[in-house]
């Protein structure tokens, strides 16, 4: 189809006609003629007026040579006008096919958005133009509604967030207060538990000490009854034999010696008990005067030499009689040495050795007694100076005594301002006892 330039109709005054031609062909596709006709614009107008393009919409039909074939609505027939500078024509020539153009159709006029399409049969440009404000009115109204809604949502959200943060802040403060209270309560509970544990520990220790004291009391009573009964049995037995009159002179002398020995042992036990009582009540008194320690120690040795000889113990004593004197109670000092040597003799078997040394020491005199006897168990060593404590306590003890000698000796030494220590590498390794006596310039308080 061919559409030619419009021309003024010779029949219809002032009206344009649009010539239209159609090529005719044979069945074989050969040219067979040309059908030509003229069309009044009313034919287009009747068709386009059936379309609803709004009050401000415009429909354009433009020839490829930029001649306006039709414009609706139009107060005047625009047919034949040129539109070479029309934005739609410019866009269609640069981008055939279809497209959208936004521009003002008239200088100073409103902006239109035009959608166009180029046709091939017939070769025309068809465009529809609408005011941009009308096209975007719904979108703008929707945008305004959306903006208002978004603003309201934002305000609501901000208010909600503010309230939420206030609640979170209040909750955080409450939780902080609760945590602080929990820490305070935990600390208080911890301290209470500690005090309770300490109280339970003290109660447990007190109970153990009470039980230990009760056990020691029972052991002491058993030991005391045994120690008192043994010499009494010997004394009573020999007295009965003497009273029978059936003994000769030699046996009577033996009986009297045995009675005297057991009576002395009994007296020694009683004196030890009295000394312990005096020590506990603070009534043990010292007769302080200058004393030659070497001579005093040797005097104590002489009283025990028969026992040493009878048991078959090798004994060594070194005491310098020229040592400077110390302020001491001579009798009590002899008692200390006698108790230490008696203890060494008692726990040293036949064939063993006991060594006594008296030496100058820094600021005083040291007395050392070393034996090769049974030694002291490591677990018992801290209690060796305790009253009524013996490593072999009970009725089946291998050695006699009440376990008072070492306790009395240390108490006497401490009254002199001195110290007494015990050392042992364990059972079967012997023991060493050391006594240190300071050279006092005046008598100690009693």
pLDDT > 80? residue 326: yes
Average pLDDT over residues 76-82: 59
End position of a domain, from candidates 245, 280, 315: 280
Per the domain annotation, does 147 fall within a domain? no
Are 44 and 91 within one domain?
Answer: yes
Give tens-digit pLDDT for 388-405: 666 655 444 455 566 678
| Alpha-carbon gap, residue 376 to 432, rounded angstroms | 10
pTM: 0.48
Give tens-digit pLDDT for 241-267: 888 877 888 888 888 888 887 787 777
Domains: count for the chain: 3
Which residue carries 């310039």 as its tokens? Answer: 441
Q: According to the model, what pLDDT value does residue 420 have?
A: 92
Q: How buried is residue 92: exposed, middle or buried, by Cβ count under 10 Å (0-12/13-18/19+)?
A: buried
The rounded mean pLDDT for the chain is 79
Are 189 and 311 within one domain?
Answer: no
pLDDT above 70 covers what percent of the chain?
80
Average pLDDT over residues 324-348: 88
Q: How buried is residue 341: exposed, middle or buried, by Cβ count under 10 Å (0-12/13-18/19+)?
A: buried
pLDDT bracket for residue 159 (50, 70, 90): confident
Q: According to the model, what pLDDT value does residue 314 have?
A: 92
End position of a domain, from candidates 100, 123, 146: 123
Q: According to the model, what pLDDT value does residue 421 have?
A: 93
pLDDT bracket for residue 296 (50, 70, 90): confident
Tell me how far apart the 2 most distant CA atoms of the chain are, in Å.
199
Q: Which of 95-99, 401-405, 409-413 has the highest mean pLDDT?
A: 409-413
Are 370 and 231 within one domain?
Answer: no
Are 274 and 304 within one domain?
Answer: no
Per the domain annotation, does 144 fall within a domain? no
Per the domain annotation, does 218 fall within a domain? yes
Are 218 and 361 within one domain?
Answer: no
Q: According to the model, what pLDDT value does residue 407 have?
A: 86
Does 272 or 168 have the greater pLDDT score?
Answer: 168
Q: According to the model, what pLDDT value does residue 14 have?
A: 60
Give tens-digit pLDDT for 113-151: 888 888 777 777 888 877 767 666 676 777 778 778 888
Spatial CA neighbour of 446 closest among 420, 419, 411, 421:
411
Per the domain annotation, does 145 fall within a domain? no
Per the domain annotation, does 134 fall within a domain? no
Average pLDDT over residues 308-318: 89
Are 235 and 301 within one domain?
Answer: no
Residue 445 tokens, joined = 């308080």
405-419 b/e (C-beta count within 10 Å ≥ 16 → b): bbbbbbbbbebbbbe
Are 239 and 343 within one domain?
Answer: no
**Cβ-Cβ contacts under 8 Å for 200 (sequence gap 6 or more):** none
Per the domain annotation, does 163 fall within a domain? yes
Average pLDDT over residues 232-239: 83
End position of a domain, from candidates 259, 280, 301: 280
Strands 314-319 and 353-361: parallel
Q: According to the model, what pLDDT value does residue 137 have?
A: 66
Are 276 and 305 within one domain?
Answer: no
Average pLDDT over residues 353-363: 89
How big is the CA angle at 357 (ends 353 and 363), to the nearest 5 degrees? 155
pLDDT > 80? residue 415: yes
pLDDT > 90? residue 355: yes
Average pLDDT over residues 411-437: 91
Per the domain annotation, does 28 fall within a domain? yes
pLDDT bracket for residue 434 (50, 70, 90): very high
| Alpha-carbon gap, residue 42 to 91, rounded angstroms | 27
Are 115 and 171 within one domain?
Answer: no
Are 269 and 364 within one domain?
Answer: no
Are 221 and 290 within one domain?
Answer: no
| Alpha-carbon gap, residue 408 to 389, rounded angstroms | 12
Average pLDDT over residues 320-344: 86
Q: According to the model, what pLDDT value does residue 59 have?
A: 79
pLDDT > 60? residue 211: yes
| Alpha-carbon gap, residue 200 to 196, rounded angstroms | 6
Per the domain annotation, does 348 fall within a domain? yes
pLDDT bracket for residue 353 (50, 70, 90): very high
Are 231 and 309 within one domain?
Answer: no
pLDDT > 80? residue 99: yes
Q: 304: domain range?
A: 284-438
CATH number at residue 164: 1.10.287.130
Crossing angle for the helix pair 330-347 and 293-311, to the nearest 10 degrees: 30
Q: According to the model, what pLDDT value does residue 90 have?
A: 78
């Amino acid at each position: 189809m061919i559409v030619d330039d419009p021309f003024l109709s010779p029949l219809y005054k002032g009206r344009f006609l649009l010539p239209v031609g159609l090529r005719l062909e044979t069945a074989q596709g050969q040219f067979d003629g040309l059908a030509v006709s003229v069309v009044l614009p009313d034919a287009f107008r009747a068709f386009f007026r059936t379309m609803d393009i709004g009050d401000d919409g415009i429909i354009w039909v433009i020839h490829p040579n930029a001649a306006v074939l039709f414009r609706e609505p139009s107060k005047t027939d625009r047919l034949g006008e040129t539109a070479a500078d029309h934005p739609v024509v410019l866009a269609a020539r640069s981008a055939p096919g279809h497209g959208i153009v936004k521009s003002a159709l008239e200088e100073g006029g409103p902006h239109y958005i035009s959608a166009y399409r180029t046709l091939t049969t017939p070769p025309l440009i068809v465009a529809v133009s609408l005011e941009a404000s009308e096209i975007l009115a719904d979108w703008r109204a929707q945008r305004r509604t959306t903006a208002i809604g978004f603003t309201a949502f934002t305000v609501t959200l901000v208010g909600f967030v503010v309230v939420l943060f206030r609640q979170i802040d209040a909750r955080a403060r409450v939780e902080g207060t609760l945590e602080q209270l929990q820490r305070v309560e935990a600390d208080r509970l911890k301290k209470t538990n500690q005090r309770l544990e300490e109280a339970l520990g003290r109660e447990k220790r007190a109970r153990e000490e009470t039980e230990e004291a009760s056990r020691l009391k029972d052991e002491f009573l058993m030991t005391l009854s045994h120690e008192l009964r043994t010499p009494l049995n010997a004394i009573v037995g020999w007295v009965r034999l003497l009273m029978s009159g059936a003994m000769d002179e030699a046996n009577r002398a033996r009986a009297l010696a045995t009675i005297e020995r057991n009576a002395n042992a009994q007296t020694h036990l009683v004196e030890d008990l009295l000394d312990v009582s005096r020590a506990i009540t603070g009534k043990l008194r010292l007769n302080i005067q200058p004393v030659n320690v070497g001579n005093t120690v040797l005097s104590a040795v002489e009283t025990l030499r028969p026992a040493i000889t009878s048991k078959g113990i090798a004994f060594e004593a070194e005491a310098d009689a020229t040592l400077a004197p110390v302020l001491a109670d001579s009798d009590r000092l002899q008692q200390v040495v006698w108790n230490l040597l008696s203890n060494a003799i008692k726990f040293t078997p036949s064939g063993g050795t006991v060594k006594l040394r008296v030496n100058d020491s820094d600021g005083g005199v040291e007395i050392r007694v070393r034996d090769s006897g049974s030694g002291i168990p490591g677990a018992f060593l801290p209690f060796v100076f305790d009253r009524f404590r013996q490593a072999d306590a009970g009725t089946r003890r291998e050695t006699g005594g009440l376990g008072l000698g070492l306790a009395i000796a240390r108490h006497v030494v401490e009254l002199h301002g001195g110290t007494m220590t015990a050392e042992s590498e364990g059972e079967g390794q012997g023991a060493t006892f050391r006594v240190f006596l300071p050279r006092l310039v005046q008598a100690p308080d009693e």
